[in-house]
């Protein structure tokens, strides 16, 4: 809940200016503004290769759900992505992965790519059951999907204890959790389909840790919060990832 529609043009032009010498075709970039800023952001990014997404949506196509936003409304506002299951949705609004599952299906039906947040609590981490918690979340949220759906899905691994703090999870910890998520996908959907899912890392990503995290072979991209509140800040991360990604693949 940061930034207004009027900030969109400034945000986009700051990114454009900061990245004019960067080959953005090696990256897939998205920004997820507040609902009220979506049309302004879509217009402001214009021809830049930056996709737009919502931060949440409802699972129903339409109807008596006052105050909610549907997939069709997001598409109408210029979105191609939608973020689902952010830790704050689960914590403050009582969302469950069962309800996230309905949203994932609705997003895919509408042609939106869901960015599904997964992450263990600090208690799960301390009790050494992070992988168990992640398996449960992932299996719940993807039940009912076919292997062909996976190419449209992004998993955002965001350990809850690493969001909004000063330190991200360590690279080795992140790599292990991403390997686990990939293994769960492979077990359920087959290795080939599992490889089509992007698994990105979020939680206190900043200019100091972006390069190391993005360079991990297990990490397909970064999910940036505070550092992306300004176009300049986000551009710093984009520049780092574009320059140092050793994968020769999109990140």
Ligand X SMILES: O=C(CO)[C@H](O)COP(=O)(O)O
Q: Based on DSSP, count helices (H) and strands (E) in the chain, helices before strands.
A: 11, 7
Instruction: Tell the residue number behind the tokens 């087959």, with chain if given.
Output: 190
Q: Residues 91, 191, 226, 247: which binds ligand X (CB under 6 A)? A: 226
- Whether residue 86 lies in the annotated active site: yes
Q: How far is the CB of 177 from ligand X (least distance, A)?
A: 15
CA dihedral for 97, 75, 55, 17, sign (positive or negative): positive
Strand-pair partners of 53: 81
Q: What φ, ψ does residue 118 adopt, rounded to 5°?
A: -135, 145
Residue-level length of the chain: 251
Spatial separation of the C-alpha atoms in residues 117 and 2, rounded to whole Å: 19
Q: Catalytic: which of 58, 86, 149, 178?
A: 86
* Residue 158 in contact with ligand X, rule: CB under 6 A: yes
Stretch that binds ligand X, among 137-145, 158-166, 175-183, 235-243 (CB under 6 A): 158-166
Tokens of 243: 């320059």
The footprint of ligand X on this chain (CB under 6 A) covers a number of residues equal to: 11
Q: Residues 54, 203, 231, 233: which binds ligand X (CB under 6 A)? A: 203
- Whether residue 158 lies in the annotated active site: yes
Q: How far is the CB of 203 from ligand X (least distance, A)?
A: 5
Residues carrying an active site annotation: 86, 158
Question: Residues interacting with ligand X, by CB under 6 A?
Answer: 158, 163-164, 202-205, 223-226
């Amino acid at each position: 809940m940061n930034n207004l529609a009027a900030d969109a043009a400034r945000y986009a032009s700051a990114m454009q200016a900061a990245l004019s010498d960067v080959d953005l075709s090696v990256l897939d970039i998205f920004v997820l503004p507040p609902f009220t800023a979506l049309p302004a952001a879509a217009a402001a990014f214009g021809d830049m290769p930056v996709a737009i997404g919502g931060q949440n949506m409802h699972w129903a196509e339409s109807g008596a759900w006052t105050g909610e936003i549907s997939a069709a409304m997001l598409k109408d506002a210029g979105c191609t992505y939608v973020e689902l299951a952010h830790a704050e949705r689960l914590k403050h609004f009582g969302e469950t992965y069962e309800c996230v599952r309905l949203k994932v299906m609705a997003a895919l039906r509408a042609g939106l790519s869901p960015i599904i947040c997964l992450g263990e609590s600090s208690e799960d981490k301390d009790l050494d059951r992070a992988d168990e918690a992640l398996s449960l979340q992932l299996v719940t949220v993807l039940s009912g999907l076919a292997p062909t759906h996976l190419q449209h899905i992004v998993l955002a691994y965001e350990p809850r204890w690493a969001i909004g703090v000063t330190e991200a999870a360590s690279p080795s910890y992140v790599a292990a959790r991403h390997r686990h998520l990939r293994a769960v996908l492979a077990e359920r959907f087959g290795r080939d389909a599992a490889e089509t899912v992007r698994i990105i890392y979020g939680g206190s990503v900043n200019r100091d840790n972006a390069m190391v995290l993005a360079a991990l072979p297990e990490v397909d991209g970064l999910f940036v919060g505070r550092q992306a509140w300004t176009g300049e800040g986000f551009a710093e991360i984009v520049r780092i990832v574009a320059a140092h990604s050793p994968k020769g693949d999109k990140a």
